[in-house]
Amino acid sequence: MSQTQADDVMKSRPLYGRLVPKQGSYHFIVADGEGGEAVASLLNAAPDMKPRAHIIYIPGANGTDLTGMVSGLGARVFHPAPSYASASQRINKVLGDAHMGLQLYAAGTEGLIGQVQRDAMAAGLPHDALTTEQRGSLARRVQCVHCKGITENVTLDPFVCAHCGLNLFVRDHYSRRLAAFQGVCIDAEDPGEVPPSEERFK
Amino acid sequence: MSNQTRMNVTVTEVVEVNSLIKRFRFVREDGGAMPGFSGGAHTVVEMDDNGTRRLNAYSLMSDPADSSGYEISVRRDDSGRGGSLFMHKGVKPGMKMVISQPVNLFGLDLRARKHLMIAGGIGITPFIAQMAQLDSLGHRFELHYAARDADLCAYGAELSARYGERLHRYYDVEKQAIDLANLLKTQPIGTHLYVCGPKGMIGWVLSTAQKMGWPKGALHSEEFLAPPVGEAFTVQLSRSGVSIDVGPTQSMLEALEAAGIDAPYLCRGGACGQCECKVDAAEGEILHYDHWLSDDQKAAKTHIMPCVSRFKGERLVIDL
């Protein structure tokens, strides 16, 4: 299991905790990839949550698929989805219909947690209203600050923007509004002088 | 150090609202526009009470869109230290006074989908400005206002006339109480909760909301404390190298100011944190009365808030 270390990080870089049960009227849980394991620990620690739990599970981009295990956890509602985009309408519908007292949990990759947080904030919740746990791949969701295109699951640094083709350096600078890290052109002054890519976000 | 820009104002109106509350209107002496403020802001009013300088914070209750003057309401506290009594007995229309620029420690979070406000007694005043602001912005809000009886429910009738079903009034004498659990259960996602009133009410509302799973970021409260009276004590200032006596009805901050020390302050009511001081030595008990320091900080005797807190013991040395 991978966890971001708290030391030496930029202030905007999000940090994550553990999925622990919270008091509330309803429990809405969104997870991807290895995040399914965190959901299992959560529901096993607090089985009384199950009749009031709604889980959306998305297989990881790295191939980890715990759909079978998570569907058997006994939540009142279980909904598998192939991607965040395909689940997004349901997530916004649940948030839109809910009342204060709903507890929101997100587990898995930073890209998933960030998008749940962004949608929660769009629904009017404060940014700290989420319980989060980072599990699985450290791959990042990165916005190219030049063309504004977002590249998902970035593991290399620098990498080539999937939209405009610039060579981007991945910063720790994070935007909650976009749910993305910022990628900045690394060879703007000396085009073509690009350091070799390293797999920084496995 | 106190960093407050003060304004010379004239009192233009003093209105008796009910048996306990008077309303005051201030306009600038130079005829200029008042600085803009947002709903929830307060001003610190300076009083010269027969040679005793008193500074009390009062919420601004006038419409934030009105830059011609500020209005505050003051509840008379007959057993208090005298600030509210001075306002009630000593302040007349035409009088010149000094007030501070507005400061907001109880602002609206305009990202909210809905604003749920709970007021107790004189705690209504910041909400009057906030509702005017929200109404002009077209934001969704409702206010629940509890008071002892119809007479002490200041501005209740006119607020009901202005805001209709968005305003709910409760009178203690008629045994009407806010059905808090039900109210909190039925709020849409994105609602922010604001409470201003007596200490017991604030504690009840916040703890109920937390138990029902409301996130901390959606909870807002404001309570200004009057500096409590107590036994006289002496405080030593390590940087200035002087000792200052604090009288029984004086706050430590007031004693520092009376000795000519420009100590930092903002709310003077234990809420904002501006006057926080490091404690160099405390042989005795610090009587912490603020809402600012954490319980650990209070127990460790490492910090003190001179605006409201006191000391009992042999020796207190602070870093000032």
User: B226-279, pLDDT tens digit by residue?
Assistant: 788 899 999 999 998 999 999 988 899 999 998 999 899 988 888 889 999 999
Is A101 within 8 Å of B184 when comparing Cβ atoms? yes
3-state helix, strand, coil in chain A (%, to 5): 25, 30, 45
Nearest to A128 among B109, B191, B216 (CB): B216
Residue A130, domain extent: 26-134
Do A100 and B214 touch, CB atoms closer than 8 A?
A: yes
Residue B228 covered by a domain? no
The pLDDT of residue A8 is 64
Interface test with A, best of B108, B114, B184, B189 (most A CBs within 10 A): B189
Note the ipTM here: 0.83
Do A166 and A185 touch, CB atoms closer than 8 A?
A: yes
C-alpha B128/C-alpha B121 separation (Å) is 13
Which helix or strand (DSSP H or E) is residue B83 part of?
helix B83-90
Instruction: Please name the amino acid found at residue B294.
Output: S
Size of interface A-B (CB pairs under 8 A): 64
Is B191 within 8 Å of A126 when comparing Cβ atoms? no
Look at residues B104, B123, B138 and tell me which one is the last residue of a structural domain: B104
Please indicate, yes or no, whether residues A146 and A85 belong to a single structural domain of this protein: no
pTM as predicted: 0.87
The pLDDT of residue B7 is 95
Cα dihedral angle (B183, B185, B189, B194), rounded to 10 degrees?
Answer: 40
pLDDT in tens, A69-97: 999 999 999 999 999 999 999 999 999 99
The segments of chain B whose pLDDT lies below 50 read 1
Scan for tokens 């985009």, then name that residue.
A85
Cis-peptide into A158, omega within 30 deg: yes
- Select from A115, A112, A58, A61 the least CA-distant residue to A82: A58
Nearest to B189 among A23, A125, A127 (CB): A125
Q: If DSSP codes are grouped into helix, strand and coil, which group holds residue B214?
A: coil
What is the C-alpha end-to-end distance of chain B, expressed in Å?
A: 11
The pLDDT of residue B1 is 41
Is A124 within 8 Å of B212 when comparing Cβ atoms? no
User: Chain B contacts of A128, Cβ < 8 Å?
Assistant: 215-217
The bridge status of strand B141-147 relative to strand B114-120 is: parallel
Is A128 within 8 Å of B217 when comparing Cβ atoms? yes
Please indicate, yes or no, whether residues B303 and B239 belong to a single structural domain of this protein: yes
Residue A96 covered by a domain? yes
Do A103 and A163 touch, CB atoms closer than 8 A?
A: no
Nearest to B215 among A25, A98, A128 (CB): A128
Look at residues B192, B222, B252 and tell me which one is the last residue of a structural domain: B222
Look at residues A101, A117, A134 and tell me which one is the last residue of a structural domain: A134
The pLDDT of residue B25 is 98
C-alpha A162/C-alpha A150 separation (Å) is 8
Look at residues B104, B128, B158 and tell me which one is the last residue of a structural domain: B104
Radius of gyration of chain A (CA): 18
Nearest to A127 among B113, B211, B217 (CB): B217
Do A4 and A90 touch, CB atoms closer than 8 A?
A: no
Query: Which residue of chain A is at minimal alpha-carbon distance from B116?
Result: A100
Please indicate, yes or no, whether residues A128 and A161 belong to a single structural domain of this protein: no
Looking up residue B89, the CATH number of its domain turns out to be 2.40.30.10
The bridge status of strand A102-108 relative to strand A26-32 is: parallel
Instruction: Please name the amino acid found at residue A9.
Output: V
Residue A14 covered by a domain? no
The pLDDT of residue B253 is 94
Please indicate, yes or no, whether residues B119 and B83 belong to a single structural domain of this protein: no
Name the DSSP letter for residue A82: S
Neighbour order of strands in the sheet with B191-196: B167-171, B141-147, B114-120, B191-196, B219-222
Residue B88 covered by a domain? yes
Residues of B with CB under 8 A from a CB of A: 109, 111-114, 184-191, 211-218
Please indicate, yes or no, whether residues A102 and A183 belong to a single structural domain of this protein: no
Residue B238, domain extent: 233-318
How close B114 comes to chain A (CA, Å)? 9
How many domains would you assign to chain B? 3
pLDDT tens, chain A, 202 aa long = 445 554 567 788 888 999 999 999 999 999 999 999 999 999 999 999 999 999 999 999 999 999 999 999 999 999 999 999 999 999 999 999 999 999 999 999 999 999 999 999 999 999 889 999 999 989 999 999 999 999 999 999 999 999 999 999 999 999 999 999 999 999 999 999 999 999 999 8
Residue B227 covered by a domain? no
Residue B292 covered by a domain? yes
Please indicate, yes or no, whether residues A147 and A114 belong to a single structural domain of this protein: no
Is A125 within 8 Å of B215 when comparing Cβ atoms? yes
Is A128 within 8 Å of B190 when comparing Cβ atoms? no
pLDDT in tens, B210-233: 999 999 999 999 887 778 889 999
Neighbours of B100 (CB within 10 A): 20
Q: If DSSP codes are grouped into helix, strand and coil, which group holds residue B146?
A: strand
Looking up residue B269, the CATH number of its domain turns out to be 3.10.20.30
Look at residues A134, A158, A187 and tell me which one is the last residue of a structural domain: A134
Residues ≥6 apart with Cβ < 8 Å to B296: none
Is B213 within 8 Å of A23 when comparing Cβ atoms? yes
Q: What is the DSSP string of B223-279?
A: -PPPPPP---EEEEETTTTEEEEE-TTS-HHHHHHHTT-----SSSSSSS-TT-EEE
Residue A5 covered by a domain? no
The pLDDT of residue A1 is 44
Nearest to A100 among B109, B189, B216 (CB): B189
Q: Give the CA distances from residue B14 to residues A90, B65, B248, in Å, rounded to whole numbers and listed in that order.
A: 57, 21, 31
Do A33 and A59 touch, CB atoms closer than 8 A?
A: yes
Please indicate, yes or no, whether residues A37 and A128 belong to a single structural domain of this protein: yes
Residue B185 covered by a domain? yes
Looking up residue B142, the CATH number of its domain turns out to be 3.40.50.80
Is A101 within 8 Å of B213 when comparing Cβ atoms? yes
Neighbour order of strands in the sheet with A77-80: A77-80, A53-58, A26-32, A102-108, A130-134
The distance from CA A45 to its chain's CA centroid, rounded to whole angstroms, is 23
How many domains would you assign to chain A? 2
Please indicate, yes or no, whether residues B296 and B203 belong to a single structural domain of this protein: no
Residue A14: φ, ψ to 5°: -65, 145
Please indicate, yes or no, whether residues A91 and A34 belong to a single structural domain of this protein: yes
The pLDDT of residue A156 is 96
Rounded to 10°, the helix A110-122/A84-97 angle is 30
Nearest to A123 among B109, B185, B190 (CB): B190
